[in-house]
Amino acid sequence: THLAIALGRAACRAGIPVRFFTASSLVMRLRRAKQDNRLDKELAAIAKARLLIIDELGYIPIDEEGSRLLFQVISDSYETRSVVYTTNIEFSGWARVFGDPNMAAAVVDRTVHHGRLIRFKGESYRSRNALMTK
């Protein structure tokens, strides 16, 4: 998350439009837009960003409709904007995140086609600097 925010801030300083969402807040936002018959407007607003950051992918379960909505954003982003995901879930676990192995495979396929994977090892930055441990 820390690195994703730093990338987003650097992009903003360079004049690049950025949108940052947690995966759950993005799904809730899309669901609300769909219920209010303004999904196209919401997708267009998201599409204005040249960098989309989706944080905490897989931390909170996403139902079938939410998975489809999230997939729509990811699919629309493919080859049109940069997308950063933060997650602790390996690609092999994305079927559980999306609730559909085929949808997960399509997302992974789009992600690895032009993507770069940055894997962090070791103790969490938050844990290492937690006030409760001092």
Q: Which two tokens stand for residue 52?
A: 């989309």
What pLDDT sits at residue 49? Answer: 98
What pLDDT sits at residue 110? Answer: 93
Give a yes or no: residue 133 inside a domain.
no
What pLDDT sits at residue 122? Answer: 75
Give a yes or no: residue 14 inside a domain.
yes
Q: Strand pairing partners for 85?
A: 54
What pLDDT sits at residue 130? Answer: 63
Give a yes or no: residue 121 inside a domain.
no
Any idea what the CATH number is for the domain that residue 47 is in? 3.40.50.300
Whether 46 and 11 have beta carbons less than 8 Å apart is answered as no
Give a yes or no: residue 39 inside a domain.
yes
Give a yes or no: residue 120 inside a domain.
no
Give a yes or no: residue 95 inside a domain.
yes
Enter the pTM of the model. Answer: 0.90
Q: Which residues form the domain of 47?
A: 2-115
What pLDDT sits at residue 121? Answer: 84
Per-residue pLDDT of the chain (134 residues; tens, 9 = 90+): 999 999 999 999 999 999 999 999 999 999 999 999 999 999 999 999 999 999 999 999 899 999 999 999 999 999 999 999 999 999 999 999 999 999 999 999 999 999 999 988 877 666 666 666 65
